[in-house]
Structure 1
């Protein structure tokens, strides 16, 4: 059976925020750029999820093997929402889903997100991925927002050289959700108050130090919208 393929979403907080709000994220929340991992005080707290876009290189492929091995015996919380990526180039959409659906109660999420969550909560990760493949509303929204941003829309049959993953806090565990891996990845301890700082430290130690010459990383956070003065 041929793997379905979608055009990728741009790593653009404005595009991803609009995309998420049209699917049910309340307007009080946003996906915002993290311009520097050393200036985290500029990001509104609390942070509900961190989304990392990284270049696919041989060094990061080595890390993938290490992560899967170290997480194989970890018992992940039942409250963790995790799904496999069964659609080529859909990692941006999967990243947003992992960020929002792991905070569905805290954020008061409605609309498509809530409907899909209720439809798939009892499914295994693989079945969740295949259910997404056939969701007509998501297919339309993804197609619409893949045309937005500053770069030309990519042919869905081409494979992108970048990949989105999401970090969330569950039961004070820092967990990376990456639909291409066999399981989620246990990354250490954290808390709802320190998720941004702990995820940033993990990214520095495991990604940036492993590939220090590569500048093609980007970071975003799911936070509330700051109140105007």
Structure 2
């Protein structure tokens, strides 16, 4: 497993590092680009229905700006700079936790361990479309449908190998990385930004999904009518993250948010 020092230097480093680790061109740039069109293009290419797509969230506190976001929001993707504060929190929270080894149709959420360099954006997208009600929008017989069907019976190590060897994922990721408002970085570039995904399970629980962690992280219960952009979900997730950074005096609070929701087209 990559050391804390290695992961801090490269937050997109995989949680397991085989020799000659595969690396993707980052979906994110140093400017915190979190382009919803790029993300939508990627999941649509894999087989998510065009009825859903990713939308920008410009504020989590201004009701007027939140009103522009279609609801319900099925998944919330947060991108942020990996600070010392976050790394200390991550290490402390994971300390003593056992590695997640769940598999099968009885799992409440499907979690993917990241073993591909620079793929945290892709892993975040997969977490968003593989869980909760969003997965019902996956087109039958699509690459995404086949991938999810193959992944569910596997343990996290088996799932990681499945993603690592998937040509469909690699092709869709490469195509998406060439889009966006800024030129794509190299696969060997180190980018200090990272993705985590918040999803609501069909049991009305909020989960934080991050392929660098030891497994999915339960963040609390939601009411049936609350989605990942509800006040309670934001308090349990994104606002807790921002509060922790602010209280630690972190000077770099670059972050952006997109949600998976009904397409605007």
**TM-score by shorter chain over 0.5:** yes
Shift of 1:2: 2.5
After TM superposition, the score normalised by the length of structure 2 is 0.78
Aligned to 2:71: 45
Aligned counterparts of 2:99 and 2:120: Cα–Cα separation in 1: 25
Aligned pairs (5 A) from 1:1-229: 1-10=19-28, 11-39=34-62, 40-69=66-95, 78-103=107-132, 105-110=135-140, 111-170=142-201, 171-191=203-223, 193-194=225-226, 195-197=228-230, 198-212=232-246, 213-226=251-264
Shift of 1:74: 10
Shift of 1:71: 6.7
Aligned counterparts of 2:99 and 2:144: Cα–Cα separation in 1: 30
Q: Secondary structure at the match of 1:210?
A: helix
Aligned counterparts of 2:100 and 2:61: Cα–Cα separation in 1: 30
Aligned counterparts of 1:153 and 1:73: Cα–Cα separation in 2: 34
Shift of 1:75: 11
RMSD: 2.4
Comparing 96-105 and 200-209, the one that deviates more:
200-209
Shift of 1:67: 3.6
Runs of 4+ in 1 over 6 A off after TM superposition: 73-77
Paired residues in the alignment total 227
After TM superposition, the score normalised by the length of structure 1 is 0.90
Contact kept, 8 Å, 2:46 with 2:168, in 1: the verdict is no
Contact kept, 8 Å, 1:4 with 1:87, in 2: the verdict is yes
Unaligned 5+ segments in structure 2 are: 1-18, 29-33
Aligned counterparts of 1:42 and 1:153: Cα–Cα separation in 2: 29
